[in-house]
Structure 1
Amino acid sequence: MTSQRRSFKLRGRLEMLALFGGSALLVFAGIAIALQFVKPAPPRQITMATGNPEGAYYHYAKRYQAILARDGIELELIETQGSVDNLELMLKPEGEVDLALIQGGVADQAQRAKLSGLGSLFYEPVWMLARSGSSPRPLNTLQGARIGIGPEDSGTRFLMQRILAANGISAENADLVVESAETSGQRLANGDLDLLFLVGSPDSPMLAKLVESQQIELQDLGRAGAYARRYDWLTMLELPEGTLDLKRNRPSEDLQMIAATANLVARDDFHPALVALVLSAAAEVHGRQHLLADVDSFPTAANSDFPLNSDAARFYKSGPPLLQRWLPFWVANWIDRIKVMLVPLLALLLPLSKVLPPAYRWRIRQRILHWYKDLKSIDLELDDQPLDAKRLRRLRKAMDSIERDVAHVDVPLGYADQLYQLRLHIALLQKKLDRLTQALEGIE
């Protein structure tokens, strides 16, 4: 390949580079700007404050842990004393935990405003347990009684102190024992306590142990409707006879109960992409029919004690995001994150798709058409009579130069017909020049 041909090829490539390179730079600039608005990826590890290993909170959290692990999310469980302890951990500015299970009614208004609710998960009834064969006592007659009200930072203690105080019962006129449900259960069975209150799900392993004991029975709290009316975070429920254990007939009679709801709570900075994933896990665990709830009653936005997270509200209205229904979580999340780039990219690519093809065609045709200016100039000069030998030699030299240059022009196959037409026109003009030269030589 001659240096001249290489020069023509290089020039053509530079033209294309200028055309497409500028467009590519524009697209990359758009991508760089759009990347500033791409959401960060969700963390692969999150922490959750649960409760003690014998409680329902921990029992359910273990199931969430297994479900989330299927999507590559590691859920670290933090054992605590209960709801009050969980609330304190959630409110710490250091952000020790991302999620927590908190009993309804535990947080005050100022505390609720600092956290984000993902909904309520299940009912937590107040279970009133007494020595088998003992006569039920209304709560406002428990002066002097020995009453187990749960461990120090538990939701049971918090709720029962409020309920008992409303009935005129306090540490001043009764023995309110603050200790674990396991210890209190043993003391109740041994006759060292008169009553034990436990707040929790019927699925609680600790409740199951207490109900199985021959020395302990469930009793009706009494006036359940009144408590539900006075406290908006309580619900009145009915537990039919034998619901917990048909063989042993536990409870031995229909019970009217009051129940708080367990709230799934997140920090305000909890990654929004994980909200639907966590709630899907909660739905898998709590969506089935339950002793105290119908199928698909939970999780729910109803009875939530905390301001509902906006992503949780969308989940309850429309279900999981469309992409998460059909794709693995991390693939769906990646697509969701980069979709913010589509708008600026489309804004660039759509005009470019209309501009680049015509511009490309124009640049290719220009390699051919710009020679016609010189050819036309020579043709007009050939028609300008009279002609002399010197003038014809100059025009011959110009034509030879054009012919050599055009021989090195390189165009795509689709434009070859136009290139051959140019060469044909050059040949025709060369013949015209030959005729005029011969005619002049004949005259001389």
Structure 2
Amino acid sequence: MPADLAVIGLGHLGLPLAQAAVTAGIDTVGYDPDPRPYTELRAGRSPVEGALTASEVRRMLSGGFRPTTDAAELGRVRTAVICSPTPLGPDRAVDLTALGDAARALASRLRPHTTVLLESAVPPGTTETFLRPLLEEGSGLVAGRDFHLACSPGRLDPGNRTRTLANTPKVIGGLTPACTESAAAFYGRLTDKVVRARGPREAEMTKVLETNFRHVNIALVNEMAVLCHDLGVDFWDVIRCAETKPFGFQPFRPGPGVGGHGVPVDPGGPPHGGRTSGPPLRMVSLAQEINDRMPRYVIQRCATLLNEHGKSVRGARVLLLGVTYKPDTADQEAAPAREIATRLMDMGAQIGYHDPHVLDWRVRERPVPRADSLYEAAAAADLTVLLQQHRTYDLQGLAVKAQLLLDTRGATPAGAAHRL
């Protein structure tokens, strides 16, 4: 059956897009070569932790959404949006394998006048030098003449129920002005505001700037948090005071590490396809180095606190609170909790965890004991470490019950716990 839209890649980008399209009355098919998303969605469950609730999945299905693993469905749509994952590889270069597979699956079925949009986070130049050749070679069509091609990087905040696709402006950069307008016409059905970039590279670089802005500023406050602790300065109070400045300052807060789907990208790094490398972004590399050190710093603080109370890490009962990468969601993408748990285990600690959104948590493929009663577990643990401040946590009560509490988020009342 033909559809107006194909969403390729049913992950943290594709699922919310498909949901918004179905809600807007767009006949939508969701393609993913991995059978798991298809199986989970057909069973009424979200294949991505924290992306959609079961009721939202059911509404999508009842609204006509059709998940599939059959690439033949891609040849029957007017618009195709590629939302394939583009993680960092071992060399910290963006891995375009899934994007390439999606492009080839679409190319062999691409019809004239189709609009192809790229939402995956990619280095500047990817749309023109990587995606375009694959589409043209596989279809025999010419981008900008026979079909429209544009980049509109995803910029949703997973788990945020206030900022949705409808009220988050979409940046669009087309290969030609006609490509941009075709993309704008599609996204205009889903969002209140469309922002036209000069071209695909400007749209791609917008995502790079947004992601690197976050990482660099978090690195700054992480480094200052370490310094202020050494100097005996309450850095959380410093932030409270600084954020009263009505101009020239935006508050960021330190933490145990940086998680999430948006990874820092150095567009001057290793080239791909026909793209040439440029000068490296030294600040981005340094920010990544600083943020990568934070889980180890948390371990250092844990060991110090235990020692100060006459205990060793080896044999200590340590309770980790909140193992997701952001509050009030089940999404664990790149959350620092796993590395912290691994390092504590290596030092001989007995690890347990509590998270209202994660019922089963594994480290090194082994299940970590989950606390049923938060207060009882905190009272029994030698050290409780708050890694994520979920809304359901009563931090005042927790500070009273816990033998020793390390707050890596600055969420507890002043003086109630040891802060990062």
TM over 0.5: no
**TM-score, length-normalised on structure 1?**
0.23
The answer to which structure has the higher helix fraction is 1
Which structure has more relative contact order (CA 8 Å, sep 6+)? It is 1
